[in-house]
């Protein structure tokens, strides 16, 4: 038999063998019996990780990218960049899994969450814990490619992710704790690049805590009535009628902290323009939640993705035109 010599012949041969493989799999008795079940299970796992709703990934990724760019002075190390982007997706997914495991007895009683896989019974508690362990292990392997300080901070970050879902039983400010958890990639990014965590990193973390508390309070306003019935605590319940005013104050604190970050990192006009655009998005959020309508509150929550994007674009452009 003549061996193929050209690249085209090799590609044609590979395509023929792939089609043959798919044909055999499609008509194999075991595949027709088990493949649909396997695919359905994988889809439920993806839902459990909220891969079909990437808003959480963006809200976690933007502050991490702020820190990666500032700590890398506009030229982040490719390995650091890759580890933090992939790690963000993995840890957000792991956080969703452990959150749903913790809330598996509450979610069936909340309109927005009753169809989640654990609440609906399409995924078992044991499956969720195994999935959480796998995602966390992969994240650990990734961060082990970086220095020791980053690894130590990653262990703290994992503890924050694991404990956050259980705070809602007794802590009235779980959104504040979430802000620390969601922003923990900030000191990690500085540690990865500099092997230390300077003051600007903590300023950036404070900005993220204020921002996260604001947008997650807006998110909690969607479920306030259901949370009151089942005993879940949130800042939306704690703030009561003052919720919109406190959210506005948190947004102002976010912008002020980011302004101080800019001064400390010597960021210029492009960065300030990003903050200005972000302030306009904040004003839009306050307008959307003015009547506390659940649908409009949810819309305002989703819109926070653009605030994070605006700040990042300002950072990136400032370094780009400086180089």
Q: What is the pLDDT of residues 224-267, one digit of tens each?
A: 877 777 777 888 888 888 999 999 999 999 999 999 999 999 99
**Rg of the Cα atoms in the chain:** 23
Task: Supply 29's token pair.
Answer: 């008795």
Structural domains in the chain, sorted by start: 41-322 (1.10.357.140)
**pLDDT for the residue 252:** 97
- Smallest CA-to-CA distance from 183 within 164, 170, 169 is with 164
For residues 23 and 213, the model is more confident at: 213
The residue assigned the tokens 């400032």 is: 318
DSSP string, 26-79: HH-HHHHHHHHHHHHHHHHHHHHTTTT-THHHHHHHHHHHHHHHHHTTT---HH
Does residue 98 surpass a pLDDT of 60?
A: yes
Residues 150, 154: Cα–Cα separation, whole Å: 6
Contact 175, 227 (CB under 8 A): no
Task: Supply 270's token pair.
Answer: 């492009």
Q: How many helices (H) and strands (E) does the chain have?
A: 15, 0
Phi and psi at residue 168, in whole multiples of 5°? -65, -10
Residues 248, 271: Cα–Cα separation, whole Å: 21
Predicted confidence (pLDDT) per residue in 56-66, tens digit = 899 999 999 99
Does residue 35 surpass a pLDDT of 80?
A: no
Task: Supply 59's token pair.
Answer: 């809200």
Residues 153, 161: Cα–Cα separation, whole Å: 12
- Smallest CA-to-CA distance from 257 within 311, 190, 183, 206 is with 206
């Amino acid at each position: 038999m003549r061996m193929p010599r050209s690249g085209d012949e090799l590609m044609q041969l590979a395509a023929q063998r792939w089609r043959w493989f798919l044909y055999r799999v499609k008509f194999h008795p075991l595949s027709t019996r088990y493949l649909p079940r396997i695919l359905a299970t994988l889809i439920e796992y993806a839902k459990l990780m909220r891969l079909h709703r990437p808003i959480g990934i963006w809200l976690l990724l933007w502050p991490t990218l702020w820190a990666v760019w500032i700590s890398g002075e506009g030229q982040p190390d490719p390995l650091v960049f890759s580890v933090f982007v992939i790690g963000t997706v993995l840890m957000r997914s792991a956080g969703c899994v452990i959150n749903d495991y913790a809330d598996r007895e509450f979610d069936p009683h909340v309109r927005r969450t009753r169809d989640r896989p654990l609440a609906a019974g399409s995924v078992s508690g044991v499956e969720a814990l195994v999935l959480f362990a796998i995602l966390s292990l992969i994240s650990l392997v990734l961060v082990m490619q970086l220095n020791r300080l980053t690894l130590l901070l990653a262990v703290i970050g994992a503890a924050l992710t694991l404990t956050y879902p259980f705070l809602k039983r007794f802590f009235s400010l779980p959104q504040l704790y979430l802000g620390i958890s969601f922003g923990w990639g900030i000191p990690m990014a500085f540690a990865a690049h500099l092997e230390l965590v300077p003051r600007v990193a903590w300023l950036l973390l404070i900005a993220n805590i204020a921002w996260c508390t604001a947008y997650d309070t807006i998110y909690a306003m969607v479920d306030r009535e259901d949370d009151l019935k089942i005993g879940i605590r949130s800042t939306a319940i704690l703030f009561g009628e003052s919720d919109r005013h406190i959210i506005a104050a948190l947004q102002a604190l976010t912008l002020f902290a980011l302004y101080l970050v800019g001064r400390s990192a010597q960021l210029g006009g492009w960065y300030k323009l990003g903050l200005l655009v972000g302030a306009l998005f904040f004003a839009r959020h306050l307008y959307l939640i003015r009547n506390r309508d659940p649908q409009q509150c949810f819309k305002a929550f989703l819109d926070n993705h653009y605030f994070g994007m605006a700040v990042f674009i300002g950072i990136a452009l400032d370094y780009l035109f400086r180089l």
